[in-house]
Structure 1
């Protein structure tokens, strides 16, 4: 049975609306996953917890990383991060963030994209493919700390 032009147009319109609705849903998923998984250490809304974990809501830090920001966060999720870092003038010694390999790559990418976009206003996003690539060949913690410092 052939579809009329009007019915075909409604189906196309409905598909377009569904696609558009998926983008905010992905960001909402990133926010929810962050609240359930990351906020225990990084604080509500990524504000950080003094002495425990640095703030992830830190636009100056992410802007300084520039185009490297998606790769950096994908690798931190893939490999974790340990050692000493500085954020907003506070030194975090003995930092041990575990690799988040228990998360599906798509969920890790949603979280990372939410941190970059919603928390820090960056236009970049992180894809599940970028998380998978980082998991296959993660940067060392020393390289991640150097990247963080702009080296």
Structure 2
């Protein structure tokens, strides 16, 4: 398991990232996942899904950063609805800071999760893309050894 240490990241920076995350979401994610992140039947699953993010717990940042950097394919089921729509491509047109902001927005603002996704984790995932099968396994609660651990120390 690779270890990354991120120190001295200010809470102001993360507050700004949450604001930017909402804009990135509306401009890039809402067309498939819905403006309120409710998902689109058969196409893209809801991202407003507290059950999923709670189940993922401390793995939530690894999962979402893997999805935005590697894309996603395969069958996903949420509350009896199956999603097998288009393959979600890696979001290579967005910067690491934008991907971190939108990932943090989905976790914190849409789902009340306490996790923060730093740009450094996004960079690490870009360097070591995660296979879609590993992401699906992580989503289903299985752990893999492809995760990148990130320790974040916040300060003002």
Q: TM-score range by the shorter chain?
A: 0.7 to 0.9
- Over residues 13-44 of structure 1, what are the superposed CA-to-partner deviations in whole Å (9 max), with x where a residue is unaligned? xxxxxx76544332111001100000000001
Report the structure, 1 or 2, having the larger helix content.
Answer: 1
Tell me the matched-pair count: 133
Indicate the residue corresponding to 1:107 in structure 2: 98
CA contact (8 A) 2:43 2:85 kept: no
1:132 is displaced (CA, Å) by 0.7
CA contact (8 A) 1:83 1:95 kept: no
- Over residues 62-98 of structure 1, what are the superposed CA-to-partner deviations in whole Å (9 max), with x where a residue is unaligned? 0000110000000000100011111222111244101
Please, what is the CA RMSD of the aligned residues? 1.4
Report the structure, 1 or 2, having the larger strand content.
Answer: 2
Q: Could you tell me the TM-score, scaled by structure 2's length?
A: 0.81
Indicate the residue corresponding to 1:138 in structure 2: 129
- Are 2:156 and 1:127 equivalent residues in the alignment? no
Indicate the residue corresponding to 1:83 in structure 2: 74
- Unaligned runs of at least 5 residues, structure 2: 1-9, 143-156
Distance 1:135 1:55 in 2: 24
Distance 1:124 1:21 in 2: 15
Which has the higher Rg, Structure 1 or Structure 2?
1
- Unaligned runs of at least 5 residues, structure 1: 1-18
- Are 2:63 and 1:72 equivalent residues in the alignment? yes
Matches within 5 A, 1:8-87: 22-87=13-78
Indicate the residue corresponding to 1:96 in structure 2: 87
